[in-house]
Chains A and B, each alone.
Chain A
Amino acid sequence: GNSVTQMEGPVTLSEEAFLTINCTYTATGYPSLFWYVQYPGEGLQLLLKATKADDKGSNKGFEATYRKETTSFHLEKGSVQVSDSAVYFCALKETGNQFYFGTGTSLTVIP
C-alpha cells in the first residue's frame, strides 16, 4: 500500500541554520510527491511538489528532489527564518485523488 514516513520532531534551529526534514515513501506505482506547511492556527498550504523522478520542487527558498532510487523527498532550506516556524507534512498521491500524509514535523526557529 501507500505510506509516507517523516522524521520525528520537533526540530529546533537557530535563525539562518540549514534545514533538512527527511521524508520517505512507499507506493505501488509512480506517485506525485508534495510538501505542505501548516502555520499555527491555520490549515495546510501547498509548499512545493514534484510529479516524476528527478524533478525538483521549490518555493520560498525550500526545495525537495524526487529520488526514486531511495524513495525519498527530503525538504531542505539553506537559511531558515523565524517565520518558517510551522508544521511540515510530506504527502504522496498515486492514481486517484487521495493523498497520503506523513505525521508532520514541527519546526521552531529561534532568533
Chain B
Amino acid sequence: DVKVTQSSRYLVKRTGEKVFLECVQDMDHENMFWYRQDPGLGLRLIYFSYDVKMKEKGDIPEGYSVSREKKERFSLILESASTNQTSMYLCASSLGTGERGYTFGSGTRLTVV
C-alpha cells in the first residue's frame, strides 16, 4: 500500500526553537506539499516541490522553509517557532499532473508553548 509517512504524530516545542517536520513517501512521486490545517480555515498551502532541490512558496510561507534533498523526503522547517504556528501540519504527495489526487500523511499536531 502506498504511503506518506510523517515522522511525528504529536510534537510540543518551545517558542524560539528550530523545528523540523519530516515527510517521506514511498511512491516515487515527483510532487510534494506541506499544508497546515486550522479550524475554520481549512487547509492552507505553505510550500511545495515538484522536483528534488526545487521549492515553491505557497500561500503562507512566512516563518517556514523547506528542504528536498531526495525525491522521497520533504522537510518543513520552522526557523524560530512561535505560538501562532501551533497547528496540524499535513504532508501530501502526487504523481505527474496530480489528476489522481493527493496522498496525504496522517498529520503532525504541533504545539508551540
> Which residues in window 17-56 of A have CB below 8 A to B?
32, 34, 36, 41-46, 49, 51
Are the CB atoms of B98 and A99 closer together than 8 Å? yes
Are the CB atoms of A101 and B43 closer together than 8 Å? yes
**Closest CB of chain A to B35's CB: distance in Å?**
8
Chain B residues closer than 8 Å to A101, beta-carbon distance: 35, 42-43
Complex Cα distance, B102 from A101, in Å, reads 12
B40's partner among A34, A96, A103 (CB-CB below 8 A) is: A103
Say yes or no: is A70 at the interface (Cβ < 8 Å to chain B).
no
How many residues on the B side are at the interface (Cβ–Cβ under 8 A)?
26
Chain A residues closer than 8 Å to B45, beta-carbon distance: 98
**CB closest residue in chain A, given B45:** A98
Are the CB atoms of A43 and B104 closer together than 8 Å? yes
How many residues on the A side are at the interface (Cβ–Cβ under 8 A)?
21
Are the CB atoms of B99 and A99 closer together than 8 Å? no
**CB closest residue in chain A, given B40:** A103
Once A97-B31, A98-B48, A103-B42 are accepted as A-B contacts, the answer to whether A46 and B101 lie under 8 Å apart by CB is: yes
Complex Cα distance, B99 from A97, in Å, reads 8
Are the CB atoms of B42 and A34 closer together than 8 Å? no
Chain A residues closer than 8 Å to B58, beta-carbon distance: 98
Complex Cα distance, B90 from A51, in Å, reads 24
Say yes or no: is B24 at the interface (Cβ < 8 Å to chain A).
no
Chain B residues closer than 8 Å to A45, beta-carbon distance: 104
Name the 4 nearest CB pairs between A and B, nearest first: A43-B104, A103-B42, A97-B98, A46-B101
